[in-house]
């Protein structure tokens, strides 16, 4: 096998290798694109989760502050209700301690009778003392009755106030339960989201590792392709050089043949044509020998 054939064979083999490298480079590029897209999709989902977790943290902070205020309000309302209960118990105790054995109207009539009797009759000191003592008892009973009225009035006013506090306390407790329940749910939601985030991160890392692996393969293949292409270029230059060398040798051989034929014609005294003169002109000594003879 000639050198030219060997070079042509190597070029063909290299071209086939370059074609295979191009196919592998395309496959590696596709894998890179696939893993890059998957990684970016996962990163987008991770970003959404981070935003959701941030919103949940803000909501939890607001609810924790609301719960703190609600607990304080519940304590205050509970204490207020307790004060009402103590006050009601004290008022009932005071009312129970009062001794009212006669109707207030009878007490008033009896006082009027005593006043009228003392004003219209002459009474002895003993009777006057007795009547004054009775009137004092009646007036004390009247005072206790008035006190009982005031206590009952206070009790009547206290009941709606206590009911209002109870209702408000119930509302605060209900809202506190709702807030506490939501805080617990937020904690569970955040834990689930963080677990999902960690799982996605692990998956994204795998895709990134696969992307880097495919990129390294592509870079290695492209480096091989560059080397193969460079070798093809060098071989083409070598082949071209060989062909030029062969061509020059053939041209030289043709010229040598023509030069011999021209010399033989000169020796025979024949005239030379233009091409033969050109060949002899390249050799000055032969040109001088020919004497510049041409046909025509």
The structural domains of the chain, with segments of one domain joined by +, span 3-101+161-239
> Per CATH, is 3-101+161-239 categorized as 1.10.287?
yes
What does the CA dihedral 62, 66, 69, 73 come to, rounded to 10 degrees? 170
Distance between CA atoms of residues 278 and 190, nearest Å: 98
Distance between CA atoms of residues 277 and 263, nearest Å: 10
What residues of the chain score a pLDDT lower than 50?
286-287, 292-296
Distance between CA atoms of residues 46 and 31, nearest Å: 22
pLDDT of residue 128: 76
pLDDT of residue 177: 95
pLDDT of residue 99: 60
pLDDT of residue 15: 92
Please state the pTM of the whole predicted model: 0.58
Structural tokens at position 210: 């696969």
pLDDT of residue 141: 72
pLDDT of residue 107: 66
Closest CA to 197 of 51, 5, 30: 51
pLDDT of residue 145: 73
Distance between CA atoms of residues 81 and 91, nearest Å: 15
């Amino acid at each position: 096998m000639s050198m030219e054939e060997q070079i042509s064979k190597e070029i063909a083999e290299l071209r086939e290798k370059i074609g295979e490298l191009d196919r592998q480079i395309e496959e590696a590029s596709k894998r890179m694109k696939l893993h890059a897209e998957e990684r970016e999709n996962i990163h987008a989902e991770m970003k959404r989760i981070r935003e959701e977790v941030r919103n949940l943290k803000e909501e939890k902070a607001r609810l924790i502050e609301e719960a703190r205020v609600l607990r304080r309000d519940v304590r205050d309302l509970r204490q207020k209700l307790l004060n009402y209960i103590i006050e009601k118990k004290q008022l009932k105790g005071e009312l129970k301690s009062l001794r009212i054995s006669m109707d207030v109207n009878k007490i008033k009539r009896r006082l009027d009778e005593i006043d009228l009797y003392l004003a219209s009759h002459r009474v002895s000191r003993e009777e006057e003392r007795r009547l004054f003592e009775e009137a004092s008892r009646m007036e004390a009973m009247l005072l206790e009755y008035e006190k009982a009225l005031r206590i009952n009035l206070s009790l009547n006013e206290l009941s709606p106030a206590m009911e209002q506090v109870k209702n408000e306390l119930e509302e605060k407790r209900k809202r506190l339960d709702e807030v506490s329940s939501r805080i617990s749910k937020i904690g569970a939601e955040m834990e689930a989201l963080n677990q999902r985030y960690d799982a996605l991160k692990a998956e994204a890392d795998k895709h990134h590792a696969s992307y880097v692996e495919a990129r390294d393969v592509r870079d290695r293949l492209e480096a091989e392709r560059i080397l193969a292409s460079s070798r093809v270029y060098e071989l083409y230059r070598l082949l071209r050089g060989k062909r030029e060398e062969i061509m020059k040798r053939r041209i030289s051989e043709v010229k040598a043949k023509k030069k011999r034929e021209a010399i033989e014609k000169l020796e025979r005294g024949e005239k030379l044509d233009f091409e033969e003169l050109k060949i002899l002109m390249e050799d000055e000594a032969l040109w001088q020998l020919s004497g510049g003879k041409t046909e025509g």
